[in-house]
Amino acid sequence: MQKAIRIGVLVLVIGFLVTLVIFNAINPASPDKDTWNAKMSKGDKNSATHHFVMYTDIFCPYCDKFSDAVAANLEDFEQHYIKDKKILFEIRVTDVNYVNGHSNNSKPAGISAYCAAREGNFWDYYYALLKKIYNDYHSKGIGVDKTAPRIPDLEKSYFYDFVSEINGLDYDKMKTCIENEETLSELDTNTRKAQSKINGGVPHFVFDKYVADGFAGNWNTNYDYKQVKLLMDAGLASK
Amino acid sequence: MAIRKIAETAFDRLKFACASTGLIVKRPKAVLLFLLSLLVFLYFLTFFRDGSSNWQLIWSGLAFDQKLEVMGRIFPAIAENFCSFYGATIILLSLIQALIIVHLAFAWRHRERDAVLNSASTSGVGAIFGFIALGCPSCGIGLLTPLLSAIAGGAAVALAEGLGYVFTALAFVLLIYSFVKLGYTNYVTIQAAKQK
């Protein structure tokens, strides 16, 4: 009797795991052609033959590893992938970690990303903010995984006190936009849209027919960039 | 009183299990099996430590040599486990699994088939719980989250975080239980063999 129960439990657990694997494997890829915010994309939309979308949250460490690696190798990424392979690369910023109660910082970070896009320089702002978060927290082992100490709740000023160093961004306009949460509705709308497309977590990558979740990196931008290239090649091979 | 007695018995059995481990791993074959098992468990737990991204790369349209590269990149990642608490959890899980394998092999050779089957099923469930608990549920990246999102929708990530910790605890409890039970059986076998 005890043996039967054991075998039953084992079969149930293995069945659960197999279902999990199958669910992941058959998860339908549904790349939509349009960009959600044109200023958060790179590449020529008209001539692009590939569409690579990254769903992200600025306070998701796995997303940040990917973006930090790209930022450190931006020239190569833009030349060999965006231009040569005619890729439209789009980042869809969400605050899913705020919505799910994991990080209060995700909301102001998301708002500030849309503010930067509205002011005309999303990309420089995005990479500068990630660098700041890395220097202040991730490089010290804070907020890097589920067992690491959490990043404390940050003041809104954290997200605009450095913008005067970024070309094309006006400090006062960014400050007003972030303090008044002027882009909150766009962030909310895009987060809701994203939640219906991702499996629950970020980073979620949709590259033509290739869909991937998570990013296996270690904060070493050279090591992580090799993983980025594997991901890009997997996406290119899917079409 | 009853709880105290159970705890004392469990502690005694743990001591006997550790003692039998010391006796078994003196043999070169057991050491080899232990190291091999440790490497295999470390490899697979590390492969899935950041969710299913490596798995998805293996099943993608990448060229064969690139897939080999994906598999090879796990080895430096194994070394990284020594640098974080999360990595230490993976190492500890792998260590207990490897010890159980060594004990399983010993018990099988000494015809303790029932003990082997019972412990194998318990430690098997523990190992699966260990795999499920991997990932970063805070980010929604884990093996558990995608399935939960199909059942629980937007609440999946919050659920996955809580369940991830539950599964980790369950994995440790089941694996330690298997280790103690099997180790104690092997201790009795060793002592009986000595008396003969």
Q: What is the ipTM of this complex?
A: 0.81
Any domain includes B2: no
With a cut of 80, say whether residue B16 has pLDDT above it. yes
The SS3 of residue A42 is strand
Q: Tell me, what's the pLDDT at B116?
A: 74
Any domain includes B47: yes
Separation between Cα atoms, residue A236 and residue B17, nearest integer Å = 53
Q: What's chain A's average pLDDT?
A: 89
A62 CB neighbours in chain B (<8 A) are 50-51, 136, 139, 141
A107 shares its domain with A186 = yes
Which helix (H) or strand (E) element contains residue A53? strand A50-57
Q: Tell me, what's the pLDDT at B52?
A: 78
Q: Tell me, what's the pLDDT at A99?
A: 85
Q: What is the number of residues in chain A?
A: 239
92-111 in B: which are within 8 Å (CB) of A?
none
> Which of B54, B66, B147 lies closest to A233 in CB terms?
B66
Any domain includes B5: no
Q: Count of domains in chain A?
A: 2
Q: Tell me, what's the pLDDT at B145?
A: 65
A176 shares its domain with A215 = yes
CATH of the domain at A127: 3.40.30.10
Q: Scanning the structure block, which residue is given the tokens 């995608």? A: B146
Separation between Cα atoms, residue A20 and residue A28, nearest integer Å = 14
Q: Two tokens at A9?
A: 């439990």
pLDDT < 70 stretches in chain A: 1, 17-18, 20-33, 199-200
A78 shares its domain with A180 = yes
Q: Scanning the structure block, which residue is given the tokens 């500068």? A: A128
A217 shares its domain with A109 = yes
Q: Tell me, what's the pLDDT at B142?
A: 61
Contact of B118 with A44, CB cutoff 8 Å: no
Burial B41-80 (b: 16+ CB within 10 A, else e): bbebbbbbbbbbbbbbbeebebeeebbebbeebbeebbeb
Separation between Cα atoms, residue B125 and residue B128, nearest integer Å = 5
Any domain includes B4: no
Any domain includes B73: yes
Q: Tell me, what's the pLDDT at A206?
A: 94
With a cut of 70, say whether residue B161 has pLDDT above it. no
Any domain includes B114: yes
pLDDT confidence band for B154 (50 / 70 / 90): low
Q: Tell me, what's the pLDDT at A28?
A: 47
Q: Is A194 on the interface with B (CB under 8 A)?
A: no
Q: Count of domains in chain B?
A: 1
Contact assignment for B85 to A198 by CB distance below 8 Å? no
120-159 in B: which are within 8 Å (CB) of A?
121-122, 124-125, 128-129, 131-132, 135-150, 154, 156-158
Count other C-beta atoms under 10 Å from residue A221's C-beta: 18
A218 shares its domain with A195 = yes
Instruction: Give the tens place of pLDDT for each residue, B54-102.
Output: 888 999 999 999 999 999 999 998 988 888 888 888 899 899 989 989 9
Contact of B118 with B40, CB cutoff 8 Å: no
Contact of B44 with B54, CB cutoff 8 Å: no
Q: Tell me, what's the pLDDT at A14?
A: 73
For residue B115, with 0-12 CB atoms within 10 Å meaning exposed, 13-18 middle and 19 or more buried, which class applies?
buried
Q: Tell me, what's the pLDDT at A134?
A: 97
A25 CB neighbours in chain B (<8 A) are 59
Q: Tell me, what's the pLDDT at A135?
A: 97
Count other C-beta atoms under 10 Å from residue A208's C-beta: 18
A58 shares its domain with A119 = yes
Q: Tell me, what's the pLDDT at B60?
A: 93
Highest mean pLDDT, choosing among A26-35, B8-17, B148-157: B8-17
The SS3 of residue A55 is strand
One DSSP character per residue, A92-137 reads: EEE-HHHHTTS-TTHHHHHHHHHHHHHHT-HHHHHHHHHHHHHHHT
A186 shares its domain with A219 = yes
Highest mean pLDDT, choosing among A105-109, B41-45, B53-57, B186-190: A105-109
Query: A194, A129, A159, A140: which is closest to B157 by C-alpha?
Result: A194
Q: Tell me, what's the pLDDT at A200?
A: 60
Q: What's chain B's average pLDDT?
A: 82
A117 shares its domain with A136 = yes
> Which of B69, B131, B141 lies closest to A62 in CB terms?
B141
> Which of A21, A61, A231 lies closest to B139 in CB terms?
A61
Better-scored residue on pLDDT, B175 or A127: A127
Contact assignment for B128 to A17 by CB distance below 8 Å? yes
With a cut of 70, say whether residue B153 has pLDDT above it. no
Angle between helices B85-109 and B156-195 (to 10 degrees): 40
Q: Two tokens at A122?
A: 């999303």
Separation between Cα atoms, residue A21 and residue A25, nearest integer Å = 6
Q: Two tokens at B135?
A: 């990932």
Q: Tell me, what's the pLDDT at B157?
A: 57
Highest mean pLDDT, choosing among A16-20, A233-237, B119-123, B165-169: A233-237
Q: Tell me, what's the pLDDT at A191?
A: 94
Q: Tell me, what's the pLDDT at A7?
A: 73
The SS3 of residue B135 is strand
Domain that holds residue A21: 1-30
A72 shares its domain with A124 = yes
Residue at A232: amino acid letter = M
For residue B113, with 0-12 CB atoms within 10 Å meaning exposed, 13-18 middle and 19 or more buried, which class applies?
exposed
Contact assignment for A148 to B86 by CB distance below 8 Å? yes
